């Protein structure tokens, strides 16, 4: 028998240049080989074959540059099951902003009380970390988020980050199974749905 | 990810964002956001700013806290209204025709992927006694209680003519809508005055009777769009986005950003910079002295008070209802057009009532919102919309209401000479066809050619 399918929405937030897109690229590239150069990444759909007995269709939304001046739209967050909040371990400001800006915005617009938050310290390949790992971990504990350090460059910690998040989401909200399609009207037939990866 | 300065650094610099763009767009209303998306998609470098901390400008959707603030209400929000956050009240009440031009743009651009739409349950017309379902096909005409027996047949013939009319394949027999006025076409079918009003106002969706003296063809096309929209999904010709119309500008803003458009909120314009030699626009300056250079500026009327003139006023009243209004209980969302004749003999414009509830995520559970609007004809706004409020189930059913009178502006020039393109205010119509036409017209003037849709049927 086939494993049940779960569709999940993940959003990435955090300051510019902390490596959100690279993180996503690294994770997606392990699954899909070729990715054309792009102006902006909209979202990527990644399939995980077995997480706790489920097949998972993960739609990961990137900020499309709208994080730069803090102009992400409320619909970006809406319906998210998981929020990945990224800082750079070379950039103390980016960790501070997770607490003072991004967490507040995400909590305001993610209309899902069971959403799982994860704080990710990226660029762990850098030889000298300016931000001690303990600082990131402490913030995660204080706000009830998961914590990991990753390197999008070397790949270290990247798939663990996504898989761990998905596992916790499945624990936190056992009723998410289904293909996630809305019951609303479909304005067009086919072309914009079920694309493996949307690169505009 | 684009690397760049964080907001704290940008404030100190005298350059706004990257400093040089093809277009600076001011205001994040729907018109501006669609244009931003279309222009970015075409390869223009776009900077899009808004003085407000939120998207949507004049056509944002507000929750109750924002409504309380906008209308300067003191005191706390009554508990019986439910959770304030669950409201999304459209400042410009409109629905979307399921086969109209906005849907074509949504599909063409792919902005649909950021939106979820649901059907609107019903479309009614109020002729004086109670709301009736709007008939739009020959079969509806026969069934409708709005017509006498003889009129049913005339009406059936009229709808039959409209359905089969194809301007590409005109036969010599029968009336020619390309040359005759709509009044003459009604005369040809011998339709009664009340039927004409119903067709012109509840189906062709004109706000008044000026169209009678215009060529009949555009009216025929409007009737066809309405009928096709009903046929597309069933009970009404309208669809509406979950969480309110404010989602529309946000979806197009996202589209623009994905194609490289840069967004800044809380950013106003103090000066439009012009090249002294050519007289054309060459940039903008913010109140804190930051500048961005550009070839064109596009914006809504509120940013260009000297470049617009007032063409009218619209009364809009936002109501929160305890329960569904009587007569339309079967529909959790609907439009009711109160015909001008049903209000007063001298009234020229209809009153529009849009009703929505939590099915579209715009109200707290069990509560309804009703958006009543009309073109202002006198000096007494309260009195003018009374007939619209009257169908909402009495004062006891109206838990809160907010009344506003908005000026309607049009640009004084087409912008081609100076490079400043100003959009029109949102009009009184209950759908987005005129807004979309303004977008396409602005696009034509800015780019110098028509927007070519993929013309696949939608």
Q: What is the pLDDT of residues B194-236, one digit of tens each?
A: 999 999 999 999 999 999 999 999 999 999 999 999 998 878 9
Q: Helices A20-29 and A158-172 meet at what angle, rounded to 10? A: 90
Q: How far is A150 from A129, CA to CA, in rounded Å?
A: 12
Q: Which residue of A has its CA nearest to B115?
A: A75
For residue A75, give how far its alpha carbon lies from the nearest alpha carbon of chain B (Å): 7
Token output for B146: 């709005």
Closest alpha carbon within chain B to A18? B1
Query: In angstroms, rounded to a whole number, what is the distance separating the alpha carbons of residues B25 and B296?
Result: 8
Q: What is the CATH number of the domain that holds B229?
A: 1.10.405.10
H or E segment at B317?
strand B308-321
Q: What is the mean pLDDT of residues B298-306?
A: 97
CA-nearest residue to A93 within chain B is B6
ipTM of the complex: 0.87
Which three-class secondary structure state does DSSP give residue A53? coil
A1 pLDDT higher than 90: no
Please report the residues numbered 109 through 148 in chain A whose beta carbons come closer than 8 angstroms to any beta carbon of chain B: none
Residue B144: per-residue pLDDT: 86
B102 is a domain residue = no
Interface test with B, best of A73, A107, A123 (most B CBs within 10 A): A73
Range of the domain at B225: 134-233
Q: Is A42 on the interface with B (CB under 8 A)?
A: yes
| Mean pLDDT on B280-308 | 96
Q: Which residues of chain B neighbour A74 with C-beta distances below 8 Å?
A: 250
Using CB atoms, pick whichever of B117, B243, B253 lies closest to residue A187: B117
Q: Which residues, numbered 220 to 259 in chain B, qualify as contacts with chain A under a Cβ-Cβ cut-off of 8 Å? A: 233, 239, 242-243, 247, 250-251, 253-254, 257-259
Average confidence (pLDDT) over A123-148? 94
**Within a domain: residue B160?**
yes
> What's the confidence (pLDDT) of residue B172?
61
Contact A69 B110 (CB under 8 A): no
pLDDT digits (tens, 9 = 90+) for B335-376: 999 999 899 999 999 999 999 999 999 999 999 999 999 999
Which residues in chain A have Cβ-Cβ distances shorter than 8 Å to B106? 187
Please write the tens of the pLDDT for every residue from B2-52. 334 444 444 444 899 889 999 999 999 999 999 999 999 999 999 999 999
Average pLDDT of the segment spanning A72-93? 95
CATH fold label, A5-198 = Rossmann fold (3.40.50)
* pLDDT given at position A178: 53
Number of domains in chain B: 1
Q: What strands, in cross-sheet order, belong to the sheet with B334-338?
A: B131-133, B122-126, B334-338, B351-357, B368-375, B308-321, B398-411
Q: What is the pLDDT of residue A176?
A: 61
Whether residue B127 is predicted with pLDDT greater than 50 in this model: the reply is yes
Give the minimum alpha-carbon distance from A142 to chain B in angstroms, rounded to a whole number. 25
pLDDT one-digit tens code per residue, A15-28: 988 989 889 988 98
Of the residues A185, A190, A191, the best mutation for testing chain B's interface (the one with the most B CB atoms within 10 Å of its CB) is A185
Taking an 8 Å cut-off on Cβ atoms, the answer to whether A185 and B233 are in contact is yes
- Where residue A129 falls (left for φ over 0; alpha for ψ -120 to 50; beta otherwise) is beta
CA distance B28 to B321: 29
- Asked if the Cβ–Cβ distance from A187 to B257 is below 8 Å, we say no
């Amino acid at each position: 028998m086939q494993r049940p399918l779960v569709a999940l929405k993940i959003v990435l937030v955090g300051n510019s240049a902390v490596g959100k897109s690279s993180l996503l690229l690294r994770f997606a590239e392990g699954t899909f080989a070729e990715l054309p150069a792009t102006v902006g990444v909209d979202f990527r759909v990644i399939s995980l074959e077995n997480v706790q007995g489920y097949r998972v269709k993960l739609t990961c939304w990137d900020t499309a540059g709208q994080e730069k001046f803090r102009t992400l739209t409320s619909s970006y967050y809406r319906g998210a099951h998981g929020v990945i909040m990224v800082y750079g371990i070379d950039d103390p400001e980016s960790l501070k902003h997770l607490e003072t800006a991004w967490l507040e915005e995400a909590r305001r617009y993610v209309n899902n009380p069971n959403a799982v938050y994860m704080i990710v310290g990226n660029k762990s390949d850098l030889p000298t970390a300016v931000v001690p790992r303990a600082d990131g971990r402490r913030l995660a504990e204080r706000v009830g988020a998961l914590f990991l350090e990753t390197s999008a460059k070397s790949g270290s910690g990247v798939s663990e980050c996504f898989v761990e998040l998905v596992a916790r989401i499945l624990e936190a909200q056992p009723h998410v199974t289904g293909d996630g399609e809305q019951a609303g009207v479909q304005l067009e037939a086919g072309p914009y749905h079920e694309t493996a990866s949307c690169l505009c | 990810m684009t690397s760049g300065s964080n907001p704290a650094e940008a404030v100190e610099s005298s350059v706004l964002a990257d400093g040089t763009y093809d277009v600076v767009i001011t205001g994040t209303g729907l018109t501006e956001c669609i244009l931003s998306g279309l222009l970015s998609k075409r390869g223009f470098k776009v900077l899009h700013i808004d003085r407000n901390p939120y998207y949507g400008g004049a056509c944002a959707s507000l929750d109750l806290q924002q409504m309380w603030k906008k209308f300067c209400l003191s005191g706390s929000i009554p508990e019986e209204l439910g959770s304030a956050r669950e409201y999304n009240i459209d400042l410009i009440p409109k629905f979307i025709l399921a086969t109209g031009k906005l849907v074509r743009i949504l599909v063409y651009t792919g902005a649909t992927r950021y939106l979820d739409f649901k059907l609107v349950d019903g479309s009614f017309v109020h002729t004086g006694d109670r709301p009736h379902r709007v008939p739009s096909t020959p079969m509806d005409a026969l069934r409708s209680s709005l017509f006498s027996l003889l009129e049913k047949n005339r009406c059936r013939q009229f709808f039959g003519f409209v359905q089969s009319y194809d301007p590409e394949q005109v036969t010599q027999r029968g009336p020619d809508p390309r040359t005759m006025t709509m009044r003459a076409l009604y005369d040809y079918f011998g339709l009664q005055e009340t039927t004409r009003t119903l067709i012109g106002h509840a189906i062709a969706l004109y706000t008044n009777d000026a169209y009678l003296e215009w060529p009949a063809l555009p009216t025929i096309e409007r009737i066809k769009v309405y009928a096709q929209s009903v046929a597309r999904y069933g009970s009404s010709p309208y669809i509406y986005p979950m969480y309110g119309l404010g989602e529309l500008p946000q979806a197009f803003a996202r589209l623009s950003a994905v194609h490289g458009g840069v967004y800044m909120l809380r950013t106003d314009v103090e000066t439009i910079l012009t090249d002294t030699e050519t007289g054309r626009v060459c940039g903008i300056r913010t109140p804190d002295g930051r500048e961005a250079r550009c070839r064109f500026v596009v914006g809504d009327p509120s940013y260009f008070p000297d470049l617009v003139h007032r063409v009218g006023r619209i009364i809009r009243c936002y109501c929160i209802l305890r329960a569904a209004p009587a007569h339309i209980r079967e529909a959790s969302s609907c439009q009711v057009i109160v015909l001008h004749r049903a209000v007063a003999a001298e009234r020229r414009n209809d009153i529009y009532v849009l009703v929505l509830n939590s099915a579209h995520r715009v109200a707290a559970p069990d509560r309804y919102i009703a958006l009543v609007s009309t073109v202002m004809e006198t000096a007494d706004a309260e009195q003018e919309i009374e007939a619209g409020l009257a169908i909402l189930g009495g004062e006891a059913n109206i838990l809160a209401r907010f009344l506003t009178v908005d000026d309607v502006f049009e640009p004084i020039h087409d912008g081609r000479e100076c490079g400043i393109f100003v959009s029109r205010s949102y009009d009184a119509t209950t759908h987005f066809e005129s807004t979309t036409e303004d977008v396409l017209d602005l696009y034509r003037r800015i780019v110098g050619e028509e927007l070519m849709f993929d013309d696949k049927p939608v």
